[in-house]
């Protein structure tokens, strides 16, 4: 692994991580805006107890996995997973169509539940849940197993069979984890939709997945208010022809309309359900779930994961990256509606037999100390959150964490976007008390689990770098032609070897799967991110190089927002770009050409914002709507997004404008903006 060799801690003087890949176009001259020179060695006390204890051990594992992937993954799968039928071959085929653990049979809930019931873990807390109003529920492994078995029988009773899709559109309540696991237990495929998506988004996903049943709740609590979910489901089901039944959890007690023969109460179904439901062994490659994510075109992609490979990735990465120990209380603050919640609230921690904390509400309710109150109260040891949250904590003030005893924390994690070095250092000092290693974990919905990350006991960290690839992950940074670029230069992040927890397809569109991820460089996985490797082998991921924007760590396609805008009667044309946003990482800026000059521009702005929220959901709320008589285009008619990004960010336009059709359009946009 000579090219990824970690540096000695003293040898770190020339770090120069760029922050914005967008300026580079795809893999061009990426500029550096920042000089980060600090390095943090793992605390000795941490290293002594860690699963991986030396850089040599990590390097040996990495080299082994690179040179003999089948040997490495085969041993790991035998070691970590509980099989009903052993696999006959570790791997079949190369990317894009790689199968893993061929011939094996297993069930994801056996990994997460059944195998913990034979010893002392059966009475250990599997999930400690806290609702926003402060209600707490703890489910032991035995109790969780029982609930999962019962709900599996409920689903079966409604005709759900192995391979059928079930939509889950729920708040962060234990029933969400129970429903996921119940699907997995009978081989059904869950498709979770984040509660912030709109009725239209739910209908689109129901239809794309061909979902048979939807599980929801009356609503959930967020900043003291009820977020109604069932009402959105009612609207979505008018347009979801495949969905036959909806199951409703009573959470808030809010008013709901129950349609006879279609809508059923969770508690009524569960009251009569048997707790006896043996897990159905499924093939290694049997789909475990679909999760929709944004790509560079408007239509969301149904990323589909298999069972064995995904479970192996979730279990192994949770154990190593979070250095999980039997006695740890682990809290990932993500919503289960995102991949982070799938892998690092539910499947990864439970497969390891850990105690996972789940919190329903907002971090600043009833006040900005809520997360720290939870850490103190539940004595959380491992805490995993997103840079957008860290930036919000900084803004809310040091006095909030300072009021709580955070001494139980021993490890901190970050995910979702690059973390600004300033935020990293604040997190390290104010939350970690200077003693907790930080793992900045790079990965994606498509990768299923963490790919590039420090190992907390051994990796010297540099704020803003996700450091080194995990064993079995073989990245490269290449130019547009697919040639590796020299260390220090920016380029495109690709994976040159398949890994067990990679996506298997895009649901219903295998051609798109091949095109999006493997079309640019045949046989190689293209992640869509710009990155560079410094001369010490540290990876610095800078952000998307496609038309995906990262708003508070959530992926949104600019085209998705554009489609929503042009579906409004008043809009002739729209172009959407991201711009740097202090808290969200990126904000959403919409340039809109109205069909006729608006008589009341402010009213139309408000209307368009609401329209986008209705079409996609609150998470896509535009930050700026700017009206323009024309959008700048190239002679071939392409909207010059690079220019619009400059305008949105308030930057002077740099770069080539020679193909620009109408420079006046840019000049007038600047005028509108000022």
The pair of three-digit structure tokens given for residue 228, joined into one six-digit string: 């109604």
Residue from 416, 421, 448, 491 touching ligand 6R9 (CB under 6 A): that is 416
Residue from 441, 505, 605, 615 touching ligand 6R9 (CB under 6 A): that is 441
Q: How far is the CB of 21 from ligand 6R9 (least distance, A)?
A: 9
Burial of 394 (0-12, 13-18, 19+ CB in 10 A): middle
- Closest C-alpha to 214, from 184, 188, 185, 244: 244
The verdict on 437 binding ligand 6R9 (CB under 6 A) reads no
Cα radius of gyration (the chain): 24
Residue of this chain nearest to ligand 6R9 (CB atom): 445
Annotation-wise, does 568 bind a ligand?
yes
Please give the sequence-ordered ranges of beta strands (E in DSSP) within 394-469, or none if there are none.
411-414, 438-440
The verdict on 462 binding ligand 6R9 (CB under 6 A) reads no
In the range 548-577, which residues lie near ligand 6R9 by CB under 6 A? 550, 553, 555
Annotation-wise, does 318 bind a ligand?
no
Annotation-wise, does 442 bind a ligand?
yes
Q: Which stretch in 319-327, 434-442, 515-523, 595-603 sits in contact with ligand 6R9 by CB under 6 A?
A: 434-442
In the range 513-542, which residues lie near ligand 6R9 by CB under 6 A? 527-529, 541
With b meaning 16 or more CB within 10 Å and e meaning fewer, what string describes 56-89?
Answer: eebbebbeebbeebeebbbebbeeebebeeebee
Q: How far is the CB of 266 from ligand 6R9 (least distance, A)?
A: 28
- Closest C-alpha to 403, from 448, 367, 373: 373
In the range 34-53, which residues lie near ligand 6R9 by CB under 6 A? none
The verdict on 423 binding ligand 6R9 (CB under 6 A) reads no
Q: Are 397 and 368 in contact (CB under 8 A)?
A: yes
Q: How far is the CB of 531 from ligand 6R9 (least distance, A)?
A: 8
Q: Are 50 and 436 in contact (CB under 8 A)?
A: no
With b meaning 16 or more CB within 10 Å and e meaning fewer, what string describes 256-276?
Answer: beeeeeebbebeebbeebeee
User: Which is closer to ligand 6R9, CB of 300 or CB of 460?
Assistant: 300
The verdict on 361 binding ligand 6R9 (CB under 6 A) reads no
Measure the CA–CA gap between 151 and 273, rounded to whole angstroms: 7
Annotation-wise, does 224 bind a ligand?
yes
Q: Which stretch in 176-184, 356-364, 403-411, 437-445 sits in contact with ligand 6R9 by CB under 6 A?
A: 437-445
The pair of three-digit structure tokens given for residue 652, joined into one six-digit string: 């002077």
Give residues with Cβ within 8 angstroms of 508, minimum separation 6.
Answer: 208, 210, 302
Q: How far is the CB of 413 from ligand 6R9 (least distance, A)?
A: 9
Q: How far is the CB of 409 from ligand 6R9 (least distance, A)?
A: 19
The verdict on 195 binding ligand 6R9 (CB under 6 A) reads no
Burial of 23 (0-12, 13-18, 19+ CB in 10 A): buried
Annotation-wise, does 123 bind a ligand?
no
Q: How far is the CB of 501 from ligand 6R9 (least distance, A)?
A: 12
The verdict on 427 binding ligand 6R9 (CB under 6 A) reads no
For residue 497, give the H/E element and its range: none
Residue from 200, 283, 328, 440 touching ligand 6R9 (CB under 6 A): that is 440
Measure the CA–CA gap between 128 and 330, rounded to whole angstroms: 10
For residue 591, give the H/E element and its range: strand 585-594
- Closest C-alpha to 166, from 149, 145, 143, 186: 186
Q: How far is the CB of 211 from ligand 6R9 (least distance, A)?
A: 21
The verdict on 221 binding ligand 6R9 (CB under 6 A) reads no
The verdict on 466 binding ligand 6R9 (CB under 6 A) reads yes
The verdict on 415 binding ligand 6R9 (CB under 6 A) reads yes
The verdict on 444 binding ligand 6R9 (CB under 6 A) reads yes
Q: How many helices (H) and strands (E) does the chain have?
A: 21, 30
Residues forming contacts to ligand 6R9 in the complex (CB under 6 A) are 293, 338-340, 415-418, 440-445, 466, 527-529, 541, 543-544, 550, 553, 555
Binding positions for CoA are 222-225, 340, 364, 552, 613
């Amino acid at each position: 692994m000579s090219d990824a060799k970690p540096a000695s801690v003293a040898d770190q003087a020339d770090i120069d991580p760029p922050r914005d890949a967008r300026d580079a176009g795809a893999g061009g001259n990426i500029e550096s805006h920042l000089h980060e020179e600090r390095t943090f060695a793992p605390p000795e006390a941490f290293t002594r107890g860690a699963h991986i204890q030396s850089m040599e051990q990590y390097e040996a594992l990495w080299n082994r996995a690179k040179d003999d992937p089948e040997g490495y993954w085969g041993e790991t799968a035998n070691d970590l997973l509980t099989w009903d039928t052993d696999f006959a071959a570790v791997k079949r085929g190369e990317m894009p169509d790689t199968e893993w653990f061929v011939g094996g049979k297993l069930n994801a809930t056996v990994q997460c539940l059944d195998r913990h019931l034979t010893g002392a873990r059966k009475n250990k807390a599997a999930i400690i849940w806290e609702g926003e109003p402060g209600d707490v529920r703890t489910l032991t492994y035995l109790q969780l197993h029982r609930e999962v078995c019962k709900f599996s029988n409920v689903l079966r009773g409604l005709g759900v069979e192995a391979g059928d899709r079930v939509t889950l559109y729920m708040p962060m309540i234990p029933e969400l984890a129970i429903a996921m696991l119940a699907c997995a237990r009978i081989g059904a495929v869950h498709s979770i939709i984040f509660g912030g998506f709109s009725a239209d988004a739910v209908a689109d996903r129901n239809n794309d997945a061909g979902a048979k049943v939807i599980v929801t709740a009356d609503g959930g609590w967020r900043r003291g208010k009820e977020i109604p979910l069932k009402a959105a489901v009612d609207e979505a089901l008018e347009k979801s022809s495949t969905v036959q039944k909806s199951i409703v959890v009573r959470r808030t007690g809010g008013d709901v309309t129950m349609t006879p023969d279609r809508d059923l109460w969770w508690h009524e179904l569960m009251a009569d359900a048997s707790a006896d439901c043996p897990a159905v062994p499924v093939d290694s490659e049997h789909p475990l779930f679909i999760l929709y994510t944004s790509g560079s075109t408007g239509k969301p992609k149904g990323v589909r994961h298999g069972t064995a490979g995904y479970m192996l990735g979730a279990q192994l990465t949770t154990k190593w990256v979070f250095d999980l120990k039997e006695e740890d209380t682990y809290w990932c603050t993500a919503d289960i509606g995102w991949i982070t919640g799938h892998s690092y609230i539910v499947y990864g921690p439970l497969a390891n037999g850990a105690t996972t904390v789940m919190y329903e509400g907002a971090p600043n309710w009833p006040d900005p100390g809520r997360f720290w109150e939870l850490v103190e109260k539940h004595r959380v040891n491992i805490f995993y959150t997103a840079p957008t949250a860290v930036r919000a904590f900084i803004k809310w003030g040091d006095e909030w964490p300072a009021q709580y005893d955070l001494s139980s924390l021993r490890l901190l994690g970050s995910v979702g976007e690059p973390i600004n070095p300033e935020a990293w250092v604040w997190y390290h000092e104010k939350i970690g008390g200077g003693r907790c290693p930080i793992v900045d974990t790079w990965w994606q919905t498509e990768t299923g689990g963490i790919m590039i990350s420090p190992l907390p006991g051994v990796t010297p960290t540099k704020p803003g770098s996700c450091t080194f690839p995990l064993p079995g992950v073989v990245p490269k940074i290449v130019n547009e032609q697919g040639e590796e670029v020299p260390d220090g230069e920016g380029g495109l992040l690709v994976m040159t070897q398949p890994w067990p927890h990679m996506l298997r397809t895009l649901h219903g569109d295998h051609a798109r799967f091949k095109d999006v991820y493997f079309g640019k460089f045949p046989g190689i996985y293209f992640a869509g991110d710009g990155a560079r490797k410094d001369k010490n082998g540290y990876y610095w991921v800078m952000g998307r190089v496609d038309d995906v924007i990262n708003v508070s760590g959530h992926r949104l396609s600019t085209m998705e927002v554009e489609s929503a805008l042009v579906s409004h009667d008043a809009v002739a044309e729209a172009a959407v770009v991201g711009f740097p946003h202090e808290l969200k990482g990126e904000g959403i800026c919409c340039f809109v050409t109205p069909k006729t000059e608006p008589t009341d521009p402010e009213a139309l702005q408000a209307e368009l914002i609401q329209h986008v929220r209705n079409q996609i959901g609150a998470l896509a709320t535009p930050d700026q709507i700017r009206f323009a008589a024309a959008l700048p285009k190239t002679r071939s008619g392409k909207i010059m997004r690079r220019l619009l990004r400059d305008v949105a960010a308030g930057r002077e336009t740099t770069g080539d404008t020679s193909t620009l059709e109408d420079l006046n359009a840019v000049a007038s946009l600047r005028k509108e903006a000022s």
